[in-house]
Amino acid sequence: MTIQWFPGHMAKAKREVTEKLKLIDIVFELVDARIPISSRNPLIDEIVANKPRIMLLNKADMADPDVTKQWIDFFAAQQIEALAIDSQSGAGVKQIVEVAKEKLRPKFEKMLAKGIKRPRAMRALIVGIPNVGKSTLINRLAGKHIAKTGDTPGVTKAQQWIKVGKELELLDTPGILWPKFEDEEVGLKLATTGAIKDTILNLQDVAVYALRFLAIYYPDRLKERYVLSHIPEDIVQLFDEIGKKRGCLAAGGVVDYDKVAELVLRDIRTEKLGRLSFDRP
Ligand code: G4P
């Protein structure tokens, strides 16, 4: 879904998340494991402030596992607990409740000490930018299909708690926040991974960015996928070679650069080049 984030929308989204924070004990910050920094909201630390938080590196099934490991260590060094998960298959999702319990143990022990014999379930809110997998994770945790509300801040409905076992309750509407658009590279990474629609950025610009990135970090996969004996330095030449090999041609047999761009981005997003990570610690 394409969303236009205007300053007014951002302020409203921030306000909505801040309101929801009052209801919960812990935040599950969802990011894309392939781009754990680029898929974060730039104000997240300020917005979440003092709430306990777990960072969930979602779509870990599509990310480079070695890089994901590095990210988990990187965040640990900043006292942020991060878990690699795949909300689609459910891999890693069970850990979330265990880690949340551990994080909230001091709070619940205090409640017990105050004489509250049966502490209530932990209450959690999922926050993240559009398309990061918030609804998929809610459905996975809920064990059933919960209708998705529009990705537009301000679309409200009565909030409900979804029970996840006995120990966790999840707010059924996630907090939707905007990514860091003002950074050009962030925009290119969001577009490369398909987090933002292809109509927003120029397709060829995105593919140029992606191919240059692959040439540096994953040269062998690039060579293998497009049967290249070497990777030409000149990006136009690289487009030409891929285009000719894969038949992305326009009338008269000239290479159609839009078709090449589409092909490369589709290949990246459907893992034809394997599991890739575009942010690096
Ligand atoms: P949102 O609520 O945060 O906006 O995201 P949503 O759950 O709708 O997920 C966006 C897309 O990401 C969905 O694909 C969903 O299936 C996919 N997705 C979510 N979590 C994971 C994961 O852990 N691994 C993988 N591989 N995919 C995941 P979709 O509905 O098919 O949308 P699209 O493919 O047409 O963009």
What pLDDT digit, counting tens, does each position of 172-214 carry?
999 999 999 889 999 999 999 999 877 778 999 999 999 999 9
- To the question of whether residue 50 is assigned a binding role by annotation, the answer is no
Do residues 124 and 226 share a domain? no
Do residues 143 and 25 share a domain? yes
Nearest C-alpha to atom 34 of ligand 1 is from which residue?
194
* In-domain check, residue 255: yes
Do residues 264 and 147 share a domain? no
CATH number at residue 225: 1.10.1580.10
Contacts 24+ apart (CB under 8 A), 265-270: 265/192, 265/194, 265/198, 265/203, 265/206, 265/207, 265/210, 267/225, 268/192, 268/193, 268/210, 268/214, 269/193, 269/194
* In-domain check, residue 221: yes
Pocket residue to mutate for ligand 1, from 2, 85, 88, most atoms within 8 A of Cβ: 88
Pocket residue to mutate for ligand 1, from 59, 136, 139, most atoms within 8 A of Cβ: 136
* In-domain check, residue 232: yes
> pTM value?
0.93
Do residues 22 and 142 share a domain? yes
Do residues 156 and 244 share a domain? no
Q: How many structural domains comprise the chain?
A: 2
In the numeric block, which tokens belong to residue 105?
A: 């143990």
In the numeric block, which tokens belong to residue 260?
A: 């090449």
Task: Quote the percentage of the chain above a pLDDT of 70.
Answer: 94
Do residues 16 and 140 share a domain? yes
Do residues 230 and 156 share a domain? no
pLDDT digits over 45-100, tens only? 999 988 999 999 999 999 999 999 999 999 999 999 999 999 999 999 999 999 99
Q: What pLDDT is attached to residue 264?
A: 98
CATH number at residue 94: 3.40.50.300
Residue type, 280: R
Which residue is listed with tokens 């990474």?
A: 189
Do residues 259 and 207 share a domain? yes
* In-domain check, residue 32: yes
Query: Any idea what DSSP says for residue 28?
Result: E
* In-domain check, residue 21: yes
* In-domain check, residue 183: no
H or E stretch including 99? helix 93-113
Which residue from 154, 175, 158, 148 is spatially nearest to 30, judged by alpha carbons? 175
Print the domain residue range for 98. 9-171
